[in-house]
Amino acid sequence: MAILTVLVSLYALSAVIYRTVLGGMTINRLAILGWNSINIAILVLLVVRQFKAGRQAWVESLRSVFGLAANAYVVWTVFLIVAVPLLFR
């Protein structure tokens, strides 16, 4: 399921990048580019760790990835709160 989600997310990310190239950067596009990139990275990391951990340790690998994900989302949110007013005056 995660692999299929990565493929769909890559397609969605490519659509946002295409619109950004044609129409320029907006606040919404900036936010979506970051969130999609984080989602893709998390899902890829999840798949890699699931294959490495095997069936015995899948819960621990899942928890560690979700811990990293929570940190990534907090960092991106803080970045948006700080950077958007500076970039889009």
What would the 3-class secondary structure string for the chain be? CHHHHHHHHHHHHHHHHHHHHHHCCCHHHHHHHHHHHHHHHHHHHHHHHHHHHCCCCHHHHHHHHHHHHHHHHHHHHHHHHHHHHHHCC
Model pLDDT for residues 19-50, shown as the tens digit of each residue = 999 999 999 999 999 999 999 999 999 999 98
Q: What's the pLDDT at 17?
A: 97
Q: What's the pLDDT at 75?
A: 97
- As for how many domains the chain has, the answer is 1
pTM of the model: 0.87
Please give the residue range of the domain that contains residue 37: 2-87
The CA distances from residue 32 to 12, 47, 54, 58, 81, in Å, are 10, 22, 32, 29, 14
Model pLDDT for residues 62-81, shown as the tens digit of each residue = 899 999 999 999 999 999 99
